[in-house]
Amino acid sequence: MSDGMERWRLVLGSPADGCAGGLGGDALDRDAALAWLYERDEGLDQRDVRRSGSGDSVLRVVDWLDDVHRLFPRRTIERLERDAVETYGITEVVTDPGVLERVEPSVALLRAVMRTKHLMNPAVLAMARRIVEAVVRDLVARLAREVRRSFTGARSRRRSNFKQARNFDFRGTIRANLAHYEPRTRRISIEEPRFTSRTRKHLDSWQLVLVVDQSGSMAGSVIHSAVTAACLWNLPGLKTHLVAFDTQVVDLTSDVTDPVELLMKVQLGGGTDIAKAMAYAAGLVETPRRSIVVLITDFYEGGDERRLVRVVRDLAAQGAQVLGLAALDEEAAPAYDRDMAQRLANVGAHVGAMTPGELAEFVAERMG
């Protein structure tokens, strides 16, 4: 069986045996691993395509995970682990010590740890912390590069004799070397590479207040808010605060330098009182015209809607930049209360969704 045909057979399951042919060797084991997980989809019964797989009684989570790590590439492993936890609720992936020893750290598993850590005994929680540390370390390293780039300064039109790859002027180099174009080979000989300089941003004293909804649906945004706050902490001219809320408000600013510890303290779930959180944030603002208040929420207000609108209107009227984000994560694909988001936009808030890197650029542009 060709590789392409084998992939289709694995996608379609055992009902495709008649067309694609049977499987053997590792392919048969891959099929069993996929069936163990995706057989749980209730929609298969409705479409009469239930596969005949191994089932829970035959294969335990720890054995399934061993097979997955042996049979599939890393990207597929991460997808399977994410589906196991988030789609089918197989919490043993993050609460079973045997599984935690084998699991591949990922943002999806970090979200699962945050949702289930209250179920873990201290020994298991210590093992789960390994996932938190690995994922946070990777996220901080990636975002720190974007933050440095955002705050380094923009390119200017002035030429520079300092030759650095990121300042290479592609268009200027082409124009300067057109005389060396060779029609026969259709190539230009670069004899005079051009580089541009960068302006250095002058940063006044600014304040950034991140206000993060810690309801269950916002787990991804909570993770990236903690990482973003850690990366922005101690930047010259920027004072950063991090506030989390459900029906209560918790100021986490003192933990910003240790995002791992911060995330282990966050309790996901509960109600939502956005107005109370924004009123607290407004009380932190020292100079409105040099302040950015970022509200990260799905905008489903369980508190006083009119109070929320009033607080946002007052902040905007005083000159503060109010940014309402329905998501702050790598995908920035939110589900949120559009009516409330529109009401806040109508009184002066900027509303949308961003990746952490885009938020860093937004802050840098306002400060610059």
The residues, any chain, with a CB within 8 Å of residue 40's CB and separated by 6 or more, are 88
> Positive or negative, the Cα torsion across 172, 173, 179, 181?
negative
**Residue 361 to residue 300: CA distance in whole angstroms:** 27
Position 290 scores a pLDDT of 93
Cβ atoms within 10 A of the Cβ of 314, count? 17
Amino acid at 305: E
The residues, any chain, with a CB within 8 Å of residue 255's CB and separated by 6 or more, are 242, 261, 262, 265
Q: Is 183 helix (H, G, I), strand (E, B) or coil?
A: coil
The residues, any chain, with a CB within 8 Å of residue 368's CB and separated by 6 or more, are 154, 201, 202, 203
Tell me which of 159 and 151 has the higher pLDDT. Answer: 151
Please tell me the pTM assigned to this model.
Answer: 0.67
**How sure is the predictor about 51, in pLDDT bands with cuts at 50, 70 and 90?**
very low
**How sure is the predictor about 44, in pLDDT bands with cuts at 50, 70 and 90?**
low
**Residue 249 to residue 211: CA distance in whole angstroms:** 9
Position 303 scores a pLDDT of 92
Q: Which of 5-19, 92-106, 347-361 has the lowest mean pLDDT?
A: 5-19
The H or E element containing residue 188 is: strand 187-188
Mean of the per-residue pLDDT values for the chain? 80
**How sure is the predictor about 242, in pLDDT bands with cuts at 50, 70 and 90?**
very high
**How sure is the predictor about 47, in pLDDT bands with cuts at 50, 70 and 90?**
very low
Position 349 scores a pLDDT of 95
Q: Is the pLDDT of residue 145 over 70?
A: yes
What phi, psi does 350 have (nearest 5°)? -90, 125
- For the segment 116-130, the average pLDDT, to the nearest whole number, is 83
Give pLDDT tens digits for 81-122.
888 877 887 877 777 787 788 777 888 888 888 877 877 888
Q: Is the pLDDT of residue 54 over 60?
A: no
Q: Is the pLDDT of residue 307 over 60?
A: yes
Position 324 scores a pLDDT of 94
